[in-house]
Structure 1
Amino acid sequence: MIDSILDKMTLEEQVSLLSGADFWTTVPVERLGVPKIKVTDGPNGARGAGSLVAGVKATCFPVAIALGASWNPSLVKQMGVALARQAKSKGAAVLLAPTVNIHRSGLNGRNFECYSEDPMLTAELAVAYIEGVQGEGIAATIKHFAGNESEIERQTMSSDIDERTLREIYLPPFEQAVRRAGVMAVMSSYNRLNGSYTSEHHWLLTKVLREEWGFDGIVMSDWFGSHSTAETINAGLDLEMPGPARDRGEKLVAAAREGKVEAAAVRAAARRMLLLLERVGAFKSRPDLTERAIDLPEDRALIRRLGAEGAVLLKNDSILPLAKTSLDRIAVIGPNAASARVMGGGSAQIAAHYTVSPLEGIRAALSNANSISHVVGCRHNRLIDVFKGKIAVEYFKGRGCKGDPLHAEIVDKGEFFWFELPSGELDPADFSARMTMQFVPEEGGEHVFGMTNAGLARLFVDGELTVDGREGWTRGENYFGTANDEQRGTVTLEAGKAYEITVEYEPSTASEEGINLIAVRFGVEKPLGEADIEAAVETSRNADVALLFVGRDGEWDTEGLDLPDMRLPGPQEELIEKVAAVNANTVVVLQTGGPIEMPWLGKVRAVLQMWYPGQELGNAVADVLFGDAEPGGRLPQTFPKALTDNSAITGDPAVYPGQDGHVRYAEGVFVGYRHHDTRAVEPLFPFGFGLGYTRFRWSEPLLSANEMSSEGVIVSVDVTNIGDRPGSELVQLYTSSPKAKVERPDKELRAFAKLSLQPGETGTATLKITPRDLAYFDIETGAFRAEAGNYQLVVAANAADIRFVIDLASPSSYLLPTSY
């Protein structure tokens, strides 16, 4: 059928398939019955085509690093199935996920959106995720291909990575997604790879992806991530996103007629687009693009389970789990206690059906809610707290909010990121909006108003201009680098008095260069100070336990910028130190998208890392704290003692964050634990680390053979739960290789198994390795080489907790081509 349609298509019609129609849909060819389909973000939900921060509600699942911490592919596959349902509820046929870039450093703004520092763990979870999604008829899109491990100058930066490092660290998750999961779509990254944009990188998109790995799906650009006409199509980029066409359309038709692009290349790309439509069933049943909100009890239960499964207990000095019946006074402290930090920032954001804060979860878990005292203590927000409450919004044709409004609505949050305006009569390049609201401060004194805008905006308090986001506007770090840095103004307000807040917004002028988005965010807060920290200290002083909820949020862990350091932002470290000084039973619950330094670690009884676990955050936290669920997580990324212990942080700006448009991956394959183990750099917490509430006994491993063969070797380890609680244990298998002509890591993860066991129960971890698992990539031969010799199999609970070391002979050498 596909070839029959292609034969009837004109060149112009074939070309039309190779660009989006708009931000989220493809172009139909009605004459030939070719429908359009919708794509949607993102990794931890299905947002649909509305606003990045509003629109139709969606189910919010845990972020990728929390899934990485679960080490549980079967549960991640269940999440993939649920996400496919969510995508269908938004009328989408393609989910723009998963993200499989590697945790090169602890500072990447999208660290939270990626699974792990290890390619094997990343690949296993990605394959499971894709199988879950695609098994329900929705296409998955693995991204960002390749070398997008930082957000700094990401749209132009060249990631300079040698081929061995690419083949061993950064490409394997993509390779496994193609070979094992049959992923239907790949998204090219923004950055350049060794000097060439990935969207026009022939070696990457054609030689490796299609010819070596056998990929037959589509390659789409990241949004506004393609920069040329002939170069992209000749390299293997099928779909330019978003639409309408910028470098395709008439330009591509002309390039084909002039011989710069072969007609066969256009037809091949169009064929792949039609094949995608066929694979998602678009020809059999015309897609219904209607968006609906579905909030299912089984999804709620899965999110809650995933939250506990990915929770990593980093320290426990005989205090957790807490006994519900023996706690008369609980102090719940910190900026993340009453606020539900459920996801990171950027394109992964969705409008969640609901969120449960830790404070709400704890209150729901305890029968005596009166025993709980809450004080925020301090703030850590990068941006002023967003305005929440009734906001009247009026939309006008043209600039200046003149005449009668064309559309009016009521919203409840002072953040707008429009992909689609509420009326088709509004021109995204030539409209204006006025937002009006009342603000009644609970306390008198100085209040800070803040606003950031992609476009031009002004904020007035009772008619007085307070924040000017118009005069002198320049691009900053917000909204993917399309908005200004937050502008602020201070006003002294009276408690209980109503103030009228007005914001007037219009888009930037079309003459401005780069990507232009339309967005504005505004808020107000009363600054906190030492008195608020002291209030938290006094509340904690006589409590039976002080629960400190600290970390970051989606303003820090976000697409579009990297973190400035690995410390807790704001005065949170001071808060921890002072609370711990007056309460010996201080438990710290962390929410971050990656590692942090912990100078206060020795002063607290317990530390629990919760990441951003989705809309059931508070319930999952309470489950773990009170022992209704096991803290099942193990670290998917090494936590260094200090930022400078990371292999990418050398002090040389050319290595990180980049210099003169290039970032050089000088550490090569020595990423994460490979660096810490090989260079003897002791971490704060090693890769794979995590405590539980029970104890296990491991039996001696058994091997299916003492020598490697082409069929591989199976290692079996019996594990028994010898405690009195159910729990899970992680068994990791690393390989350690003999000296080769290249330097190799001390050990490399090659297999793992997570066992969930009842008290007294024994389970078997079955771990298989093959010759490829003994190999390194040999640049000279362009193949994976496993030399003959004696290897070691390292059976471990984490990278620093080695239980058994087994000798394994490989009597033969293996040269494994990249195509097989």
Structure 2
Amino acid sequence: MTNIRAFPDSNFARRGAESRRPHLWSAGPLEQTYKKGHGYSSPPLLPKIMSFNVEETLASLSIIQKIKLLAGLGWWHTESIDDRIPSMRMSDGPNGVRGTRFFNGVPSSCFPSSTGLGASFDVDLAYKVGVALGEECRAKGCHILLGPTVNTQRSPLGGRSFESFAEDPALNGLIAAAYINGLQSVGVSSTLKHYVANDQEFERFSISSDVSERALREIYLKPFQLALKHSDPWAMMTSYNRVNGVHVSESSWLLNDILRKEWGFKGLVMSDWIGVYSTAESIKAGVDLEMPGPSVMRGKAVERSLAGQKLFPSDVDDRARKVLELLQRAYASGIPFNAPEEGVDTPELRKLLRDAASDSIVLLKNDHNILPLSSNVKSIAVIGPNAKYAMTSGGGSARLLESYTVTPLEGIQSSAKDLGVDVKFALGTTTHKYNPLLDPYISLQDGSGKGALLEFWNEKPSKHFATAEPSLNDSLKPCVWSCTTKGSNCVLLDGVDETKVEKECYYRYTTSFTPDESGTYQFSLILAGRGNLYFDGKLAIDLSNAPLLGDSYFMGLGTADVKVLIQDLKAGQSYKVEVQCNNHEYIKQVPIIPNWGGLRIGAVKVIDPETALRDAVNLAKASDVAILVVGLNHDWESEGYDRDDLELPGLCNRLVSEVLNANPRTIVINQSGSAVTFPWIDEAPTVLQTFYGGNELGNGIADVLFGKVNPSAKLSLTFPKRLQDVPSFPSYGNKGQEHGRILYNEGVFVGYRGYQIKNVKPMFPFGYGLSYSTFEYSTLKCSRVSSEGKFIVTFTIKNTSQVYGREVAQIYISDEEASLPRPQRELKGFKKVALKAGESKAVEAEFDREALGFYDERRGSWVAEKGIFSVLVGASSEDIKLKGSIELMTTLSWVGL
């Protein structure tokens, strides 16, 4: 694997050794000064650590107090103990800092999804993103960010594929390490997750990932191992699933033998939320902290285990010590405890968000050099379901309330205006799985601003409340608590005054809906409970009596998404929308998750599919250039479920084909967190892959389209021609499970390794991406391999175009004489090189024995066998530009990092 010196220009490189210190903050203030919003490479000037001695504090606690530390306080805090131990705050990541609320939280910056950041192949950018996330954590009083995610993308169908950086362990682990170094440089703990083999959402709490130890070591554990080698994550999160029959949260082999003993991890291990299934077993295995609180598997159960000597006080001490050690870091960070939450919005942050969005965009095709767009273009048709909405992130715990968003349409309009280019929009087709939320079109009934009023009662406020009989004229008892909200998706896991509102309660949501277009609208409602939607005083949707269940909310116990058509709405006219609900039935079924239920209201103007397609095609014909923005969204890619196929939803593919036929100067932009198939790819001259781009998605796209940014990203995962070509097919998800287990039949041949070994050509290979520049590779040299397995690779890259550009050079290693089947080539290092027009630069990458080794289950160790190895330097996993060789004279064997 590359030594950190393979990235000589990066902050990641300079901080590599420093980040491995056991107690980064314990020595007091660091030497450099940090200014908020500036100097992403510099750590903050922090106050000296408060007087907090871990061992003295631990010794002062009673056994009951120590037990208390082993589980969380609510969703986002650790437990406190009198005035000695405050609560540490944590927040979901990995592409933003939500804060402590799902409901009515402080708006947040949303960075590109991890697959997009991985596609940048840019450790400097990952470091900067980590620092910026750390800044926002500090503003929100957050000590622990729950990220990054480095689960291997075994299949593009995975609901959370967009949360991980890559299908390749080297890219995954090295980008994660840079992210961690940036985040922790500002005193915020990272939480590397989800350890390990948490690669699908189907039966994620119970499924057993049955995998050989070799594949586990080389593919699934490797990104965690690399992150630990090149950074020092202060926390780790266990996954929900079992590995070879044993839940990870109960696996002493994974947590103690490998993570702590073999790799030397010194930090805290927490569970995923409700991911602890035992008491003594999880504590002995090494899970320090059960999340969330209140505890289900600890607390009194630990006391009982102590009495039965299934546990001993020393076991409790071992776990509590890790909580206190992380608390010591929290003290040292200077982040206040129980602080008010604030947002961050600076020009520097907005620039970074925009840079990250554009740097994550992959140019897949540009056959006729339509891009970049020039002033010769006078009219642009922007078409597609992803153009008018900002698809900033995938769904689930990665979702957050963005501080602001820029849609692709808005970004294109802004850039086109500067050039005097006319832009018109046509929807073309719809692809939503759930109706879009009401959010842009709602306002408070009293006229005081945007949003809705939410009122709560502990007792039924009227006889007909939340029944099929309209009760809008009934006089209601005074509510016990109320609040306003900006949105129509209220996930009431938090943000409710629990001192006034009981868990079983009644609530009413009231707002004014003002459409921007006249016509018939389809309204929809999902409830975590029972109730009804009334539109302008009339019952519209009845979910009050034994409604059908869907797959929404926790445990899939929300109602089905029920829809109704409401006709003849007028643009600009306001209509009253009211939902009355009780959550009793829902709360009884999910007692282990503290919450008050929730509701989701959507609405969309009904369109005739054929008319929408025809309008889009006609607009494309009448324009100089058509820009099609299609893809998936957080309804299709989300935590909680996997995709069924790799197709674009609805009529997307037909729309693309018909617009391509209407205008040969069509640019297709696909937005998805993972791979999809493009049946029209041969007809499309220009194609971009944008992933989920965060706040500045629209501006990032426009910057690439109009040439303000020369695209430099490369695919962080393979795009197959069809689902059957994916190496994990068919052993994946609900169609591949065998009585509660998934067989990892492909072994080490995951991602591009599998396509190459089977000689299956993908649609676009791993590491692929074009530029407006052209590059030439030359003069490859490989040093002799030392007795420890170290060697250096050097080569030259030249920009042979007239345009400044950046090229990602990828270094692959191939074992020509292996005693076991090995991949044809494996990524072991990469370097992003910036070059002016005509400029050449020498690139140097240093490697160690890890770049040569494989895991030998017979020996229980890593082995690099003596013999000849090929060194392959390329622009992608398939586009190899240079080939050299090295020779290892003596077989090496080792255990650990």
TM-score when scaled to structure 1?
0.96
> Which stretch shows the higher mean deviation, 616-625 or 444-453?
444-453
Partner in structure 2 of residue 544 of structure 1? 624
SS at structure 1 position matched to 2:80: coil
Partner in structure 2 of residue 113 of structure 1? 163
Task: Give distance in 1, aligned partners of 2:734 and 2:524.
Answer: 35
**1:238 counterpart (285, 288, 299):** 288
Task: Give distance in 2, aligned partners of 1:507 and 1:385.
Answer: 23
Compared with structure 1, are the counterparts of its residues 457 and 178 closer, same or farther at alpha carbon in structure 2 (3 Å cutoff)?
Answer: farther
Task: Give distance in 2, aligned partners of 1:369 and 1:493.
Answer: 39
Give deviations 1:747-784, integer Å, cap 9, x for gaps: 11111111011112212222222222111110111001
Q: CA deviation at 1:583?
A: 0.4
**1:730 counterpart (804, 808, 811):** 808
Q: CA deviation at 1:544?
A: 0.5
> Which stretch shows the higher mean deviation, 709-718 or 40-49?
709-718
Task: Give distance in 2, aligned partners of 1:809 and 1:535.
Answer: 63
- Structure 1 residues 463-612: aligned runs within 5 Å: 463-473=537-547, 475-484=549-558, 486-496=560-570, 498-509=574-585, 510-512=587-589, 516=593, 517=595, 518-528=597-607, 529-612=609-692
Task: Give distance in 1, aligned partners of 2:334 and 2:121.
Answer: 37
Partner in structure 2 of residue 394 of structure 1? 454
Q: CA deviation at 1:597?
A: 0.7
In the alignment, structure 1 residue 777 sits paired with structure 2 residue 861? no
Partner in structure 2 of residue 639 of structure 1? 719
Paired residues of 2:782 and 2:884 also in contact (CA < 8 A): no
Task: Give distance in 1, aligned partners of 2:818 and 2:369.
Answer: 48
Give deviations 1:595-634, integer Å, cap 9, x for gaps: 1111111222200111111101111111000100011110
Partner in structure 2 of residue 376 of structure 1? 427
Paired residues of 1:648 and 1:655 also in contact (CA < 8 A): no
**2:763 counterpart (684, 698, 707):** 684
Task: Give distance in 1, aligned partners of 2:741 and 2:433.
Answer: 28
Counterpart amino acid of residue 506 in structure 1: N
SS at structure 1 position matched to 2:358: helix
Q: CA deviation at 1:186?
A: 0.5
Q: CA deviation at 1:435?
A: 0.8
Task: Give distance in 1, aligned partners of 2:315 and 2:802.
Answer: 64
Counterpart amino acid of residue 86 in structure 2: P
Task: Give distance in 1, aligned partners of 2:861 and 2:734.
Answer: 27
**2:527 counterpart (419, 436, 453):** 453
Task: Give distance in 2, aligned partners of 1:312 and 1:208.
Answer: 37
Partner in structure 2 of residue 742 of structure 1? 820
Q: CA deviation at 1:363?
A: 1.4
Partner in structure 2 of residue 2 of structure 1? 54
Partner in structure 1 of residue 745 of structure 2? 666
Q: State, as a whole percentage, how many aligned pairs show the same letter.
A: 35
Paired residues of 1:331 and 1:547 also in contact (CA < 8 A): yes
In the alignment, structure 1 residue 420 sits paired with structure 2 residue 490? no
Paired residues of 2:524 and 2:603 also in contact (CA < 8 A): yes
- Structure 1 residues 220-239: aligned runs within 5 Å: 220-239=270-289
**1:82 counterpart (125, 132, 145):** 132
Counterpart amino acid of residue 634 in structure 2: G
In the alignment, structure 1 residue 153 sits paired with structure 2 residue 203? yes
Task: Give distance in 2, aligned partners of 1:491 and 1:372.
Answer: 32
Paired residues of 1:392 and 1:408 also in contact (CA < 8 A): no
Structure 1, gaps ≥5 residues long: none
Counterpart amino acid of residue 270 in structure 1: A
SS at structure 1 position matched to 2:486: strand
Task: Give distance in 1, aligned partners of 2:719 and 2:502.
Answer: 44
Task: Give distance in 1, aligned partners of 2:567 and 2:751.
Answer: 50
Paired residues of 1:383 and 1:486 also in contact (CA < 8 A): no
Task: Give distance in 2, aligned partners of 1:117 and 1:412.
Answer: 37
**2:313 counterpart (249, 253, 263):** 263
Compared with structure 1, are the counterparts of its residues 514 and 205 closer, same or farther at alpha carbon in structure 2 (3 Å cutoff)?
Answer: farther
Paired residues of 2:525 and 2:599 also in contact (CA < 8 A): yes
Task: Give distance in 2, aligned partners of 1:401 and 1:741.
Answer: 75
Task: Give distance in 2, aligned partners of 1:435 and 1:344.
Answer: 26
Q: CA deviation at 1:709?
A: 3.2
In the alignment, structure 1 residue 431 sits paired with structure 2 residue 505? yes
Q: CA deviation at 1:401?
A: 4.5
Task: Give distance in 2, aligned partners of 1:716 and 1:401.
Answer: 75
Compared with structure 1, are the counterparts of its residues 617 and 186 closer, same or farther at alpha carbon in structure 2 (3 Å cutoff)?
Answer: same
Task: Give distance in 1, aligned partners of 2:336 and 2:161.
Answer: 37
SS at structure 1 position matched to 2:490: strand
Q: CA deviation at 1:442?
A: 5.4
Task: Give distance in 2, aligned partners of 1:98 and 1:781.
Answer: 32
**2:482 counterpart (408, 416, 429):** 408
Aligned structure 1 segments of 4 or more residues deviating by more than 6 angstroms:
none
Give deviations 1:122-157, integer Å, cap 9, x for gaps: 010010000001111100000001111111111111
Counterpart amino acid of residue 542 in structure 1: A
Q: CA deviation at 1:287?
A: 1.9
Partner in structure 2 of residue 803 of structure 1? 881
In the alignment, structure 1 residue 102 sits paired with structure 2 residue 152? yes
Task: Give distance in 1, aligned partners of 2:845 and 2:525.
Answer: 53
Paired residues of 1:179 and 1:214 also in contact (CA < 8 A): no
Paired residues of 2:202 and 2:642 also in contact (CA < 8 A): yes
Task: Give distance in 2, aligned partners of 1:601 and 1:103.
Answer: 23
Task: Give distance in 2, aligned partners of 1:415 and 1:180.
Answer: 40
In the alignment, structure 1 residue 11 sits paired with structure 2 residue 91? no
Aligned residues: 815
Partner in structure 1 of residue 13 of structure 2? none
Partner in structure 2 of residue 703 of structure 1? 782
SS at structure 1 position matched to 2:181: helix
In the alignment, structure 1 residue 38 sits paired with structure 2 residue 89? yes
Q: CA deviation at 1:120?
A: 0.5
Q: CA deviation at 1:476?
A: 3.2
Partner in structure 1 of residue 468 of structure 2? none
Paired residues of 1:653 and 1:659 also in contact (CA < 8 A): no
Counterpart amino acid of residue 345 in structure 2: D
SS at structure 2 position matched to 1:532: helix
**1:140 counterpart (184, 190, 193):** 190
Task: Give distance in 1, aligned partners of 2:662 and 2:726.
Answer: 34
Structure 2, gaps ≥5 residues long: 1-52, 444-450, 463-476
Compared with structure 1, are the counterparts of its residues 307 and 284 closer, same or farther at alpha carbon in structure 2 (3 Å cutoff)?
Answer: closer
Q: CA deviation at 1:513?
A: 5.2
Paired residues of 2:520 and 2:569 also in contact (CA < 8 A): no
TM-score when scaled to structure 2?
0.88
**1:69 counterpart (119, 133, 141):** 119
SS at structure 2 position matched to 1:270: helix
Partner in structure 1 of residue 246 of structure 2? 196
Q: CA deviation at 1:397?
A: 2.9
In the alignment, structure 1 residue 349 sits paired with structure 2 residue 399? yes
Compared with structure 1, are the counterparts of its residues 453 and 384 closer, same or farther at alpha carbon in structure 2 (3 Å cutoff)?
Answer: same
Task: Give distance in 2, aligned partners of 1:361 and 1:806.
Answer: 45
Paired residues of 1:452 and 1:522 also in contact (CA < 8 A): yes
In the alignment, structure 1 residue 759 sits paired with structure 2 residue 840? no
Q: CA deviation at 1:526?
A: 2.3
Give deviations 1:85-126, integer Å, cap 9, x for gaps: 001111110000000001101100111111000000001001
SS at structure 2 position matched to 1:804: strand
Paired residues of 1:461 and 1:501 also in contact (CA < 8 A): yes
